[in-house]
A and B are shown apart, each in its own frame.
Chain A
Amino acid sequence: MSATLTFIRINLAKLLLLIGGISALLTWYFTTPEFGTVFNTFNTWNIDITLFTLFTGLIVICMRYFRGVREKTPGIWMFELYGLILIFAWIIMGTIYGMYSDTYQTIFLSTKITLHIAILGQLVFFMISGAYRTFRLKSLRTVAFALSAMVIIFMNIPFVQNGWAGANAFSYWLLNNPQTGGARAVVITGGIGAVVLGMRILLGLEKGPSRVTEA
């Protein structure tokens, strides 16, 4: 790749990020229709680009699966073939019946969603057999961890809440105070991190999202 092209690729991405970020920032402080229109236009572009990336993703995954099937990648090619068949089956069904038709919905609910529910339903088995083996009071940390989980789960059992009127209040107190304190710390930390990351992107210091290979 020529040096000029690399320069354009690196700086074009930065420029687009800068324009998009500043337009979002300005609408927060300047509520004129002009700023709002610019910001909304960028947001609409964002929708179009995200949809396009979905399409690109579909092509990339199909190419990968086609290659795997053609080369008979040991151990996985049959799953890739299965994936390919499903992808095209859903595209054809969606095109024929329409994504919002009752037929498409029934097929979607009877296959993908039912399987998803079954998979998620297994979590309780893993969770309890996992808790049986891991929630053992070996150290102060495991005592704190196990007791926190036990208290919340125990206090949330309707049988316990009915038997002791204070259980519900105690459970909500735990969730709304100690738990909220911890969760709020996580949220605020994440928010500060997002602000710092945003500023680094705007200043062109963050290489992650706009990384372009020199080669």
Chain B
Amino acid sequence: MQIPEIKSEYIWATLLILCYIIPGIFPLNTTFPDSATTTQIFNLIQNLPNNCTVVIGGSGVFAFDLESSAGTIPAIRQMAAKHIKILNVPLAVEAVQFEKYLIDAAKIETKYGGDYVYGRDWIQFPYLAGTPGSLVAFLNDIPGTCPTDVYGTPLSQLPLGKNLKDYKDIALWICPHWDFPTIVQYVTGERNITSVSFAQSAAYAQYGPYMTAYPGKVFMTNGFLGGAQYERLMGTNGLGHAVLDGEQIMGILFVVFVVLGNLTYFTRPKEVKKK
């Protein structure tokens, strides 16, 4: 018996219905195991001294990196609970907008009912063009490289900005962007600052070697799954939980369609295979 080829339209329709429409209407509430690395990151932030300064920054932004946002947003809320100061350092053009989105989505500011005040508890720096040179300059001399914030206000006029000098003021670097290797190289490798990446799953698979190269200094979460694990540690539901139903079905369908494709191939007559 020969199994016919499935048209792409049917594959697309199956995915649309099973991965998007059905979980959207009837959530499956997918359960998932914990990850030791995600828990380590949670504990690392939990054990940071109150009122220390953490940088959120990097380069490489795709569609506001929803995979990265899944873990970064609860981490910002965790830091806000400890009154940790946040410096947003965008090393890519769109990173300015992305980092604003992260702060807005975490709802830590007073306008959302939180207690974070701009200038006192967090600062948004303007786009620093020319990575990695600009990153090195920032680490070596913060006010010299970035004399103003994104609004053009001199750092000396901001309560948080006036005391910033160099990388020694930074307790942790969080990279919610794609280009984590640059951060590992200049922030962790050269200046021994611990770095965390709330990574996209593709970045996690690609940059895994950095975690083994810098044990205890470089940490990564794994895409939406890592984000969902972090949300659970924080006791909240967010982007990570919202996507896992679809992601789970997508994983199953991937395997099913590859098996189907091979059944189609192996049930073909030899002449057709050769052709």
What is the interface of chain A, defined by CB distance below 8 A to chain B?
36, 39-40, 42-44, 46-47, 49-51, 54, 98-100, 105, 108-109, 113, 116-117, 119-120, 124-125, 127-129, 131-133, 135-138, 146, 150, 152-154, 156-162, 165, 168, 175-176, 179-180, 183-184, 187
Give the nearest-CB partner of B124 in chain A: A100
Return B146 CB to nearest CB of chain A, in Å.
Answer: 9
Question: SS class of chain B's interface: helix, strand, loop or mixed?
Answer: helix
Q: How far is the CB of B207 from chain A (nearest CB, A)?
A: 8
Q: Could you list 18 further interchain pairs (A-B, Cβ under 8 angstroms) beyond the known A158-B225, A175-B205? A: A46-B137, A54-B129, A99-B96, A99-B97, A100-B124, A100-B150, A116-B64, A124-B19, A131-B258, A138-B265, A146-B258, A153-B251, A154-B251, A156-B225, A157-B252, A165-B33, A183-B209, A184-B209
| Neighbouring A residues of B258 by C-beta, 8 Å | 131-132, 135, 146, 150
Kindly specify which of B8-16, B48-56, B76-84, B157-165 makes contact with the partner chain.
B8-16
Interface size for chain B: under 10, 10 to 19, 20 to 34, or 35 or more residues?
35 or more
Is B136 within 8 A of A117, CB to CB? Answer: no
Instruction: List A contacts of B32 (CB < 8 A).
Output: 158, 161-162
The answer on a CB contact under 8 Å between B133 and A132 is no
**How long is the Cα–Cα vector from A108 to B94 in the complex, in angstroms?**
10
Cα A20 to Cα B116 in complex, Å, equals 41
Q: How far is the CB of A94 from chain B (nearest CB, A)?
A: 11
B133 touches A159 (CB 8 A): no
Contact with A along B93-127 (1 / 0, CB 8 A): 10011001100100000000000000000001000
**Can you list 17 pairs linking A and B with CB atoms under 8 Å apart?**
A47-B128, A47-B129, A51-B129, A98-B151, A99-B96, A105-B100, A105-B104, A119-B63, A128-B254, A129-B11, A131-B258, A136-B261, A137-B262, A158-B33, A158-B247, A183-B206, A183-B207
Inter-chain contacts of B208 with A (CB < 8 A): 175-176, 179-180, 183
Residue from A54, A100, A157, A187 within 8 A of B100 (CB atoms): A100
- The answer to whether B253 has its CB under 8 Å from any CB of chain A is yes
| A47 in contact with B130 given A99-B150, A125-B15, A129-B12 (CB within 8 Å) | yes
Complexed CA–CA distance, A38 and B96 (Å):
28
Taking the nearest CB of chain B, how far is it from the CB of A203, in angstroms?
21
Question: What is the CA–CA distance of A165 and B33 in the complex, to the nearest angstrom?
Answer: 9
Q: Kindly provide the distance from the CB of B259 to the nearest chain A CB, expressed in whole angstroms.
A: 9
Cα separation A97 to B130 with both chains bound (whole Å)? 26
State whether A40 touches B141 (Cβ < 8 A). Answer: yes
Give 1 or 0 for each of B163-202: 1 = CB within 8 Å of chain A CB.
0000000000000000001000000000000000000010
Chain B positions within 8 Å of A105 at CB level? 97, 100-101, 104
Q: Which residues of A contact B257 (CB under 8 A)?
A: 128-129, 131-132
- A133 in contact with B145 (CB, 8 Å): no
Q: Are B134 and A47 in contact (CB under 8 A)?
A: yes
Known contacts A47-B128, A156-B225, A162-B32, A42 near B133 by CB under 8 Å: yes
Q: How far is the CA of A124 from the CA of B265 in the complex (A)?
A: 22
Contacts of B141 in A (CB 8 A): 40
Instruction: Report if B233 contacts A (CB, 8 A).
Output: no
Residue contact B96 to A100, C-beta cutoff 8 Å: yes
Given A43-B136, A132-B6, A153-B255, A125 and B11 contact (CB-CB distance below 8 Å): yes
Asked if B89 CB lies within 8 Å of chain A CBs, one says no
A113 contacts which chain B residues (CB < 8 A)?
63-64, 97
Question: Once the chains bind, are A136 and B248 in contact (CB under 8 Å)?
Answer: no
Contact of B206 with A43 in the complex, beta carbons under 8 Å: no
Residue of B nearest to A185 (CB): B209
| B134 near A46: Cβ-Cβ < 8 Å | yes
Q: Which residues of B contact A158 (CB under 8 A)?
A: 30-33, 225, 244, 247-248
B15 & A47 in contact (Cβ 8 Å cutoff): no
Q: Say whether, besides A44-B144, A161-B33, A132 and B11 are in contact (CB < 8 Å).
A: yes
What residues on A are CB-neighbors of B101 within 8 Å?
105, 109
Contact B262 A44 (CB under 8 A): no
Q: Is the CB of A50 within 8 A of B134?
A: yes
On chain B, the residues within 8 Å of A124 by CB distance are: 15, 19, 250
Decide yes or no: A43 and B124 within 8 Å by CB, A120-B62, A128-B253 being known contacts. Answer: no
